[in-house]
Amino acid sequence: MVSFCADIDRLFTELPFLDRCKAARESGFSSVEFTMPENIGLGELGDAAAYKGLKVAVITMPAEQLALAFEKKSKQKFLNALDDFIDKADFLECKKLFIPAQELPPDTFEIQREAFASALHAAASRVRQAGMKILLGFRNPQDMPEAYPASTLEVLELLDELNDDRAFAYLFDIYQAQSCEGGLSNTIDSLISLIGHIRIAGVPTGEEPDMGEINYDYLLSLLETQGYQGHIGCSYTPRLTTAEGLKWIQKYV
C-alpha cells in the first residue's frame, strides 16, 4: 500500500504553519514535507513535526540559500548553507533534501548550470556522510519559462553527470511531467530505481488528483507493482479547504 505525505507548503494553508502538522496527522497522514521555514525555532518545528508519531519525509531548501549554488563565487556560501540545512534535517530525522528547479536566464544559462553542477559535486560527500540524499526535480516551462531543470531528460543528464546514486535521486512530480511531456507509466517503469520521492496533483488545474487527465488509480497500482517504497507527496492546491478536498484519498488508505 502506498504511503501518502502532506506537502504543507500547499495543504492546510488556512492554518498557521506549525498547526498544519497537527492537521495533517489528524487527517490521516503519517508524514509531511515542506520548505524549511526561516522564522520558526528548530525546537518548535521539531515538536510540531513529531506530533503523534508524524515523520518528515522531505525538506526543501529555501530559495535564498539555493540561489548560492548557481554562482561560482558563492559556492562555499552554498556549502555552508547546506551544512546548516543538513544539521536541521538531521534534527528533524529527515533523510531527503529537495533542491528544486530555478529560473536561469538564457544569457547566463551555461555559466550558472556549470556552477550548479560543481556545487552539487561538492555537496555529495556531505549528504552521503549524513546518510541523506539530495532530490532533484524539474519545473515545466509553461509554469516557469526559464526553469532548469525543465524536463525528465535534463534531470537525468544532471544525475548522469553527478554519477552518485548514494547522494542523489529523482523527485518525480507527476503534475510537472504530465504538463509538458507525458509518458508517465514509461517513466515509472524505466526509472523506478532512480526515483526517491513522488508528488501528485490534478492536471491541468494543480488541484486535487481526483479530477483531470491522469488515471491515478492505474499509476498508484503500477507503483505498488514496481515495489516503490517511498512516499507519495500530495502537493496540490485544494479547491476549497484541505479537509473538504481529502475525500479522494479514502479509497487508497
- Tens-digit pLDDT string for the chain (253 aa): 689 999 999 999 999 999 999 999 999 999 999 999 999 999 999 999 999 999 999 999 999 999 999 999 999 999 999 999 999 999 999 999 999 999 999 999 999 999 999 999 999 999 999 999 999 999 999 999 999 999 999 999 999 999 999 999 999 999 999 999 999 999 999 999 999 999 999 999 999 999 999 999 999 999 999 999 999 999 999 999 999 999 999 988 8
Are β-strands 168-173 and 55-60 bridged in parallel, bridged antiparallel, or unpaired? unpaired
Note the pLDDT of residue 104.
97
HEC secondary structure over the chain: CCEEEEECCCCCCCCCHHHHHHHHHHCCCCEEEEECCCCCCHHHHHHHHCHHHCEEEEEECCHHHHHHHHCHHHHHHHHHHHHHHHHHHHHCCCCEEEECCEECCHHHHHHHHHHHHHHHHHHHHHHHHCCCEEEECCCCCCCCCCEECCCHHHHHHHHHHHCCCCCEEEEEEHHHHHHHCCCHHHHHHHHHHHEEEEEECCCCCCCCCCCCCCCHHHHHHHHHHCCCCCEEEECCCCCCCHHHHHHHHHHHC
- In order of their start, the domains of the chain are 3-252 (3.20.20.150)
